[in-house]
Amino acid sequence: MKAFENYVMGQWMAGDGVEWTAADARTGVALGSVSSAGLDYAAVLAYGREKGGSALRKMTFPERGRMLKALALYLNERKEPYYAVSAATGATRVDSWIDIEGGIGNLFANASLRKEFPDLPYYVDGDPVRLSKNGTFVGHHLMVPRRGVAVHVNAFNFPVWGMLEKIAVNLLAGVPAVVKPSEYTSFLTEAVVRDIAASGILPEGALQLLVGKGVGVLDAVAEGDVVTFTGSNATGLRLKLQPHFVERGVPFNLEADSLNAMVLGPEATPQTPEFDLFVKEVVKEMTIKAGQKCTAVRRVLVPEEHLDAVQAALVQRLSTTSYGDPSKEGVRMGPLATALQVERVRSAAEALAEEMPAVFGNPAGAGTPVADHPEAGAYFAPVLFRNDRPFSALRAHEIEAFGPISTLMPYRSLDEAAALVALGKGSLVTSYVGANREHARDFTLEAATSNGRILVLDASSAKESTGHGSPMPLLTHGGPGRAGNGEEMGGKRGVLHYLHRVAIQGHPDAVQALTGRYIPGAARPEAHPHLFRQYFEDLRIGDTVTTEKHLVTLQDIEDFAELSGDKFYAHMDASALEGTIFTGRVAHGYFILSRAAGLFVDPPKGPVLLNYGIEYCRFTKPVYPGTTVGVRFTVQEKIDQEKRSPEDVAKGIVKFYVEVYDDQDDVVAVAVILTMVKKHTDA
């Protein structure tokens, strides 16, 4: 029998014996053996830290982002064979699309985050803090990659997405990963990792794979490592409570399956588009991946007066949903992942049936799947329960059947609906479907603390909405309580999870050398030649142009008011200033900024291509006619840019710190402007 292999310490190897026999969910036919027994997990993790970690930490954020983009493009070109392997997990084409292309999409999304990080191997967090009277002692925060490895213990339901959505974040942060997918479906993860390893896109040691049970791998974690777990709440808590995580200071992020809900707004009557959206979304969430999603809808909350109408609509739609072998024409729901999962779902469904009736299907999951040998596959028919006593019959809020099973229940007010959602003791997601914005706001604010995510769905967003079950890579994925009290992804927030924050203190010159940004109080050597005459590579942080000065006159104010149309009373009417902070007509702030540009700009054509924008601007002191102003124009930060095409100009973005001061040397305005500056080379 074929043995699926682990990818560890730079090589493919089978584990000892057989920990699990992977089988085709459609037919029950054995696919191969799975094991990671006998591996030296301490050596595997050490290899990741030393080999992969050292290579990743030398890369800048833009380099890591481009690496993720290259990997996404590479996998996207090779994705079709993954669909054939995915079918053996019981997935339909749509199910596989969510898993495979959703995972690749996570790589693309996280790759785009490189633009939000500096052109450094580490992150400069926030703004400098002045710690002394004269400004010679300042503080700042840096965030550096952890010197460990991210150990990802993933669930069986998304063998591709589960891996890619996690490693995209830690790799961008500069931390290597050891991925342990569920042994039930790790054969699909193995197929993808084989391509990743062959590509050479990731540094060696940046990604390792354990296809078996991985018993003991978490015993090998050490300070600097990060553990994430996706799966059942009970298993996750049992792992999280192991004392060595606390003793070694190892973060443990738990994202657990939860009793998610969908709420129909009171105004969404059977005649509204939202009613139809609700019914469609519930059935989709029951049948996509055969209900085997951590975000699947388990509780369906409906206004009491619409309960029968919703039940009838759900039953009608479920009755036309064909299930069975995804390769058969017309099949829209596949089998569960394994025969073991069938037994677990059946046991949970039978426990629910002791407290409430099934209004569609039966708790045993019996039905007529479209399959050549239905008795051999992991088939389970959809089941819809009805709970008319949701505050006293509590099993629907306590027992999750991880399959195509949901419970319909009534509510009488939005506060009551939020209270029912809270009985689930923490959910990854709840959806509110209704067009009334006030109702949506009231419910969302009441239910927010019970959820990690809330989808507000109505006809205006339906066309582009990704739906109830789709966490987005740039938003937090996780939830409170039963959902694990953790969070994954979350855009920039997710990346920071793998970085260590350290406070640095010292003279502005010393702090500037660490941050790669100009720090007020640091040396500002005069630039020669003018900064607008220098190419991107030549510009140095802190270099400054000190400009000539300009005498602000009343005529300046009159002319600028006429040109701009800004005739605000403080600029134009001296008799209207009583009770204000002004002692006379004051110059427009934007005139001061515009005149500053006139002072610091060197006009002839040169390396500066264009003004890219203003990031920050403050007017700190009134400027009256008769005041002389000058500008100190300083290189604050440089951000490299990629060429979008071979024809594109090689360039970077430069942030300039603009400080306008008066004849008393008081700062009257500050701004940070961005310019696009050409490079010497065309690389």
Element spanning 345, H or E: helix 339-353
Residue 25 pLDDT exceeds 80: yes
Q: What would the pLDDT profile of 235-286 be if each residue is shown by its tens digit?
A: 999 999 999 999 999 999 999 989 999 999 999 999 999 999 999 999 999 9
Q: What would the pLDDT profile of 514-570 be if each residue is shown by its tens digit?
A: 999 999 999 999 999 999 999 999 999 999 999 999 999 999 999 999 999 999 999
Question: Mind listing the domains of the chain with CATH numbers?
Answer: 45-121+148-252 (3.40.605.10), 260-472 (3.40.309.10), 524-678 (3.10.129.10)
Determine which of 397-406, 486-495, 578-587 has the lowest per-residue pLDDT on average: 486-495
Torsion of CA 349, 352, 356, 360, to 10 degrees: -20
Distance CA 336, CA 404 (A): 9
Strands (E), 514-666: 544-546, 550-551, 608-619, 628-640, 651-661
Q: Does the annotation count 617 as an active-site position?
A: no
Q: At a CB cut-off of 8 Å and minimum separation 6, what does 63 contact?
A: none
Apex 267 CA angle, 264 and 271, nearest 5: 90
Residue 127 pLDDT exceeds 80: yes
pLDDT at residue 683, rounded to an integer: 59
Q: How confident is the model at residue 489 (pLDDT cuts 50, 70, 90)?
A: confident
Q: Does the annotation count 375 as an active-site position?
A: no
Residue 373 pLDDT exceeds 70: yes
Q: How confident is the model at residue 681 (pLDDT cuts 50, 70, 90)?
A: confident
In this structure, the strands spanning 11-13 and 6-8 are antiparallel
Residue 448 pLDDT exceeds 80: yes
pLDDT at residue 1, rounded to an integer: 78
In this structure, the strands spanning 476-479 and 486-489 are antiparallel
Question: If you average pLDDT over residues 413-442, what whole number do you get?
Answer: 97
Query: Strand order in 260-264's β-sheet?
Result: 358-360, 383-386, 405-411, 297-303, 260-264, 427-433, 451-457
Question: If you average pLDDT over residues 142-162, what whole number do you get?
Answer: 97
pLDDT at residue 452, rounded to an integer: 97
* Mean pLDDT (the chain, rounded): 96
Tell me which amino acid residue 65 is: G
Among residues of the chain, what percentage have pLDDT more than 70?
100
Q: 3-class SS at 130?
A: strand
φ/ψ bin of 544: left (φ > 0), alpha (ψ from -120 to 50), beta (otherwise): beta
Q: What would the pLDDT profile of 176-186 be if each residue is shown by its tens digit?
A: 999 999 999 99
pLDDT at residue 197, rounded to an integer: 98
pLDDT at residue 566, rounded to an integer: 97
Determine which of 122-136, 233-247, 592-606 has the lowest per-residue pLDDT on average: 233-247
Q: What would the pLDDT profile of 73-115 be if each residue is shown by its tens digit?
A: 999 999 999 999 999 999 999 999 999 999 999 999 999 999 9
Query: Strand order in 499-506's β-sheet?
Result: 123-130, 138-145, 499-506
Joined together, the tokens standing for residue 101 give: 């292309």
pLDDT at residue 472, rounded to an integer: 92
Angstrom distances, CA of residue 444 to CA of 295, 416, 448, 449, 647: 18, 13, 6, 9, 49
Question: If you average pLDDT over residues 201-213, what whole number do you get?
Answer: 98
| 3: nearest Cα among 47, 29, 33, 44 | 33
Q: At a CB cut-off of 8 Å and minimum separation 6, what does 616 contact?
A: 670, 671, 672
pLDDT at residue 300, rounded to an integer: 98
* SS3 per-residue string spanning 400-435: CCCCCEEEEEEECCHHHHHHHHHCCCCEEEEEEECC
Among 255, 274, 487, 488, which one carries the catalytic annotation? 255
Q: How confident is the model at residue 361 (pLDDT cuts 50, 70, 90)?
A: very high
Q: How confident is the model at residue 205 (pLDDT cuts 50, 70, 90)?
A: very high
Q: At a CB cut-off of 8 Å and minimum separation 6, what does 495 contact?
A: 110, 113, 117, 169, 172, 173
Q: What would the pLDDT profile of 494-516 be if each residue is shown by its tens digit?
A: 999 999 999 999 999 999 999 99
Among 274, 281, 294, 637, which one carries the catalytic annotation? 294
Question: If you average pLDDT over residues 148-166, what whole number do you get?
Answer: 97
